[in-house]
Structure 1
Amino acid sequence: MSKTKEFQKLLTEPGAFILPGAYDAMSARLIEEIGFKAIYATGAGISNAQLGWADVGLTSLKEVVDIVTRMADVTSIPIVVDADTGFGNAINVMRTVREFERAGVAAIQLEDQVSPKKCGHFNGKDVISKEEMVGKIKAALDTRQDENLAIMARTDAVAVHGVEEAIERAHAYAEAGADIIFVEAPTTLEQLRQITSSLKGIPQVLNLVEGGKTPLVSLNEAEELGFKIMLCANTALRSAIKGITDSLRVLKEEGSHDNVLDFICTWEERQSLFKLDQIKQWEKEYSHS
């Protein structure tokens, strides 16, 4: 089964699922190794990890495509890519879809923020018109070569115009043909219920950001609220930041590995993750110099 069909199957199966974020090939591989069903290529995480800057629209299309291509090379489960605003207008969206489809993604997320965009849980956002975003969605749908490639439409209108406007936009994006709807940064459980009750019949995303604007709920609670996807975009990135910080601090302060070992994976775990045994097998099979 193709990755696009596999992801469409996830959308129609009973129950909600967690979509964890990856920021490089290593974190993507870890997500699959742990047993999750799909990977989210996080725009914020890629900006943080690859550029060293906050999520304020600094990444280019090519930079994200390069990272996502590496993720797809080392994993076998579907990848959902955060394509921000599509990196421009509707014409840019057409190129964005072609590039990510060639990279091997199963779904592309597009949002209605003004470019350059900001993290959905930052203040000071703005959105384009509903009509312009509808045009972007239609351009994406008309450009995709694989009809199973899912288009996820995100609106950031809650913070700018309120939840009613966000729901109105979500309806328009669904009517334009989006496969998945993502209303970003609702701030209360009441808003979560309002969103899902107003948008029945289409898979919906709940983005949970630790310390962000949306209340944190469990997967069971997200499903009960009516969400299909519980997005945890940067949990892995933030755990990596803490783990690296803690181990480096101990190494700096103590000048010894004695208390570092509790913070790091074993040698064997590292080589297993990166498939050293598989490489050795290929060497035995193919290298005869």
Structure 2
Amino acid sequence: MPDATPAARLRALLARDQLQLMPCCFDALSARLIEQAGFPLTFMSGFAVSAARLALPDTGLITVTEMLDHGRSICQAVDIPVIGDGDTGHGNPANVRRTVEQYAAAGFAGIMIEDQVAPKRCGHTGVKAVVERSEALRRIRAAVEAREAGADLVLVARTDARSAVGLDEALWRLQAFADLGAEVLFLEAPRDEQEMERFCRAVPGWAMANMLEDGLTPWLPPERLAEMGYRLAAYPLSLLSSAVAAMQGALADLQAGRAPQTRVSFGELRRIVGFDDYEAFLDRYTE
């Protein structure tokens, strides 16, 4: 679907009866590596962007302007659909609507909106509070109305109520989000496989799993997630944590007076960032 919008291409991908693996990116380079590895989509992780751009924790410190600036670079660097982390929508329903409109204009294919109180935090670091049901529903309704008014994004509705209140409340909210028009449903931080299976059985729509290494949710192979009924498997910090480990190793090598061993060649790095394409483009203008 070369001429389809990013959202249309994402919906077509999700409509396939199979689990889609979604490594999350933290900048344009990581997004390009995801695309070059053959993955069909990616997610701009708020945790990862806050860490990579600001070296700050995912506790609501990064602004929507910074997320949008980062997101434009990511969306321009790849052709695969990109879902953006919209956090709490950054305010009241008017803010939510504007956030959705801005994410659509930036080139995203989808946006995630959640029900934590502001400032939010990473769902695997001890969420204590979510907004009241009425406020959670207002956020999703505002996002749906923005989508229907022309800001066409796939809406990922997330709840952190499992950690803050309990599983029953989380499932009630997800059902209500689906009823309002959310397309992808995301139960953050279920504690075991039984809770994950109950979520997939109880809630309509496309279910998303969050496979965070060392997180609160068990890390399961794709085959098991597909068996449960998940349509999306996000890997939020796999690339960032691996990149940090590689950089720490390279720094240790340099301190020891040797060239880092775990690295791509200079030629491969030039290819990844587009030197070959750049030279080929200029050759077209050479007499």
Which bracket does the TM-score occupy, shorter chain normalised? over 0.9
Separation in 1, partners of 2:137, 2:193: 28
Aligned to 1:233: 236
Alpha-carbon separation, structure 2, partners of 1:255 and 1:13: 51
Question: Between Structure 1 and Structure 2, how many residues are aligned?
Answer: 283
CA contact (8 A) 2:116 2:129 kept: yes
What does 1:77-96 align with in structure 2 at a 5 Å threshold?
Answer: 77-96=80-99
Task: Indicate which of 158, 164, 169 corresponds to 2:162.
Answer: 158
Q: Does 1:46 align with 2:49?
A: yes
State yes or no: 1:265 paired with 2:264.
yes
The one-letter amino acid of 1:93's match is V
For structure 1, the residue ranges without an aligned partner over 5 or more in a row are: none
- Work out the CA distance in 1 between the residues paired with 2:268 and 2:252: 22
Shift of 1:287: 7.0
Identity of aligned residues (%): 31
In the TM superposition, structure 1's runs of 4+ consecutive aligned residues that sit over 6 Å from their partners are: none
Q: Provide the C-alpha distance between the structure 1 equivalents of 2:94 and 2:197, rounded to a whole number of angstroms.
A: 35
Are the aligned partners of 1:118 and 1:125 in contact in 2 as well (CA < 8 Å)? Answer: no
Matches within 5 A, 1:1-289: 1-144=4-147, 145-146=149-150, 148-199=152-203, 201-252=204-255, 254-257=256-259, 260=260, 262-286=261-285
Return the letter of the residue paired with 1:28: A
In 2: Cα distance, 1:127 partner to 1:30 partner: 35
Structure 2 length normalisation: TM-score? 0.96
Deviation at 1:2, TM superposition (A): 2.2
Which amino acid letter does the alignment assign opposite residue 188 of structure 2?
E
Give the match's secondary structure for 2:58: coil
- Aligned-pair RMSD on alpha carbons? 1.3
- Kept in 2: contact 1:111–1:153 (CA 8 A): yes
Supply the distance in 2 between the matched residues of 1:286 and 1:107 (Cα, whole angstroms).
38
Secondary structure of the equivalent of 2:284? helix
Instruction: Report if the CA contact (8 A) 1:153-1:180 is conserved.
Output: yes
- Alpha-carbon offset, residue 282 of structure 1: 2.1
Q: Which amino acid aligns with 1:235?
A: S
* Contact persistence 2:14–2:20 (CA under 8 A): no
